[in-house]
Copies of this chain bind each other. A is one copy, B any other.
């Protein structure tokens, strides 16, 4: 258990009790999620795109086409903001106001490093496949030189980052506790099903 350093940008100002800067907690949230969102600013206008991601060590990786406009901003050295959110439950309170969701979310600020070393690039692309299914990188036909060339891989340090975790039941006001209104949590889970063969 060790914490990342908190910066002004990642210090959680609202819902502070839900905040965490613990590396293991952060890594587990990153690993469980399949999709993140990456935002950059273009002439003062935020541009956000969903993207799949994976982690190796203390870096979060994204990949995509070298021609992608958003990634060109990353390559130009702009600090991106990357978020993700795992939904864990719908919280039904006795009062309308206290309805909420249980979630685990992350906000990360960082500059993307273009992975150019061919050995490193292959290693992290293998790790992406192994996230799909353990050992997959040694089953599939490996990438050829052309495929490696057209794929851009970016590494973002998992350093300037915070997560928020909201869990548990409804937080009704004491005066509402006796109301005859059903309450509780409907858990939400993401399920990866059995293979439908091609």
Contact = CB atoms under 8 A, between A and B. Distances in A.
A18 interface: no
Interface stretch (A19-27, A89-97, A112-120): A89-97
How many copies of the shown chain assemble into the complex?
2
A48 interface: yes
A116 to B, nearest CB: 18
Q: Sort A-B residue pairs by CB-CB distance and give the 8 closest, nearest first.
A: A50-B85, A39-B46, A39-B39, A39-B48, A41-B41, A97-B147, A184-B197, A37-B37
Interface of A: 9, 13-14, 34-35, 37-41, 44-50, 52, 65, 67-69, 79-85, 87, 90, 92-97, 99, 101, 103, 105, 107, 109, 125-126, 128-129, 132-133, 136-137, 139-144, 147, 151, 169-170, 176, 179, 181-198
